[in-house]
Amino acid sequence: MIEITHLTKRFGDLTAVDDLSISIEAGEIFGFIGPNGAGKSTTMKVLACLLKPDSGSAKVDDLSVRAQGDAIRQRIGYMPDFIGYYDDLTVDEYLQFFAAAFRLPRKKRRSIVSGVLELTDLTAKRDTMVSSLSRGMSQRLGVARVLIHDPKVLLLDEPASGLDPRARIEMRSLLTELARMGKTLMVSSHILSELAEMCSSIGIIEQGRLIFAGSIDDAYARVKGAERILIRLEPADNIAQIVASVVSALDADERVESATPVDGKAGVIDVELKDAEPGRHFLLERVIAGGGRIASFEPQSVNLEDAFLRLTKGAIQ
């Protein structure tokens, strides 16, 4: 559905997107991840025909953004990271405005607006002025706006930004529902745990370059060797000394990547093993040798944040 090939976009000396290639299948929820200034919004703006690529190609539904902008606009719904609103309109008028902008037949507009309001749970706010909506409601209205012409592809730039936990959960379920309806979603977000729960594939971008693209399982597999284990020691009077002794004993082992006291007084140590290290028994031996008595031993599962932190360098441009 979305095919980006060797896309490059420059702003003067700054290369915002550098030789980016991504392929997103129809019906996928694609999570677009990267630090601030990585080039996510620029890529989305190119797909939304708001920016022209300097080189490479970008296609939506087999239509080129360079030559077939009008046809693409009919197929995409783009929600920018900061949604501007006409504060002199009601919610209903705002949606009617965009329905007319997409040249939907006048007779059908009211029913389409009602349907979209229902889908986004905004029916009760129909006659409310846009300017008086809360942040969560505004974001919902932003989603309602991009759905008004029933596009095949939704480009959502930070749709959950600034939302409280309840509103984030509601937004997540709304997006999942849209995917179930057959839409292809490209979603950028900094809240990686949420992307992990709803995305079928992800792309990680840094300094305009694609670092990783594939399924979330692939991303985990890429960092799976680096297993983390949280060791909790039993309380003791000299717990800080014991922790220091255990940490130095663990650090001395070549199979351990790092051992870090999470909380010295509580006796918690975060141990990271080297890649593909199958054994665990030596950890117990080292802890005992260091004078510690184990209260618990918890292997930590890898999450998307770990994968993101491992795959990116934290560089920004």
Partner 1 sequence: MTKGEPRPSRLAPLVRNLDPRTLFFGPIFQKDMRISGRKLGVYIGRSLFALLLAAVVSIAFYSVWQSTGFNQSPSARIQSLQNLAPVIVVSVLWVQFVAMALLAPVLTGGAICEERRAQTLPTLLTTPLSPVQIVCSKGASRLAQLIIIALIALPVLLGVRLFGGVRAETILAGSSISLTTAIMGASIGLWFSARAARGTTATLAAYCMLALLMAGLPMLASAINLIAESEFPGARLPDLLGPWAPDWPLRIPTDVLYASSPPLALGAVSYGSAVGMPIRSIWVGASLWSLLISLGALTFASVSLRAVMRRSLGAPKLTRRQRRQHKKAARAGDASPVDPGQLRARRSRTVADRPVLWREIRQSLFPSKAMLVAAVLGVVLIMGIMYLAVDIDELALAMIPIIIGTILILLQAALLSSGGFASEREARTLDALLTTRISPFQLVASKMLGSIRRQWFIPLILLIHMGVIVAYRETHPIVLLHLSIIFLGPIVMLSGTGVYFALRFRKSITASSVNLALALLLWLVWPICMGVFFGALDIGGYEFGEAMANFTLFTHPVWLSAVSVEGARGHFSDGFDLSNLDYDTPSSNLGVVAWTILVFASTGVQIFIGLLAALAALLRFEKHTGRAA
List interacting residues with partner 1 (CB under 8 A): 45, 48-50, 52, 69-70, 73-74, 76-78, 80, 82-93, 96-103, 106, 109, 125-129, 131-134, 137, 145
Rounded Cα distance between 76 and 295, Å, is 55
Minimum gap (Å) between residue 52 Cβ and partner 1 = 5
Q: CB–CB of 261/268 below 8 Å?
A: yes
Side by side, which strands form the sheet with 29-33? 76-79, 153-157, 184-188, 29-33, 201-206, 209-215
Rounded Cα distance between 177 and 243, Å, is 49
For 167, 235, 256, the CA distances from 231, given in Å and listed in that order, are 35, 13, 13
For 102, phi then psi, to 5°, come to -90, 10
Task: Please say which residue, 74 or 303, places its beta carbon nearer to partner 1.
Answer: 74
Q: CB–CB of 71/63 below 8 Å?
A: yes
Over the range 64-83, which residues count as b (16 or more CB within 10 Å of their CB) and which as e?
bbeebeeebbbbbbbbbeeb
Task: Please say which residue, 130 or 243, places its beta carbon nearer to partner 1.
Answer: 130
Task: Please say which residue, 84 or 165, places its beta carbon nearer to partner 1.
Answer: 84
Task: Please say which residue, 37 or 80, places its beta carbon nearer to partner 1.
Answer: 80
Task: Please say which residue, 126 or 232, places its beta carbon nearer to partner 1.
Answer: 126
Task: Please say which residue, 88 or 197, places its beta carbon nearer to partner 1.
Answer: 88
Rounded Cα distance between 130 and 102, Å, is 20
Q: CB–CB of 295/236 below 8 Å?
A: no
Rounded Cα distance between 122 and 117, Å, is 5
Task: Please say which residue, 75 or 255, places its beta carbon nearer to partner 1.
Answer: 75
Task: Please say which residue, 85 or 297, places its beta carbon nearer to partner 1.
Answer: 85
Q: CB–CB of 222/66 below 8 Å?
A: no
Minimum gap (Å) between residue 215 Cβ and partner 1 = 29
For 64, 87, 202, 285, 293, the CA distances from 247, given in Å and listed in that order, are 57, 59, 36, 13, 13
Task: Please say which residue, 62 or 127, places its beta carbon nearer to partner 1.
Answer: 127
Minimum gap (Å) between residue 35 Cβ and partner 1 = 22
Minimum gap (Å) between residue 83 Cβ and partner 1 = 7
Rounded Cα distance between 99 and 71, Å, is 16
Task: Count CA atoms within 13 Å of residue 163 on its CB side.
Answer: 24
Minimum gap (Å) between residue 95 Cβ and partner 1 = 9
Minimum gap (Å) between residue 85 Cβ and partner 1 = 7
Minimum gap (Å) between residue 205 Cβ and partner 1 = 20
Minimum gap (Å) between residue 237 Cβ and partner 1 = 44
Minimum gap (Å) between residue 235 Cβ and partner 1 = 44
Extract the tokens encoding 76. 């995409």
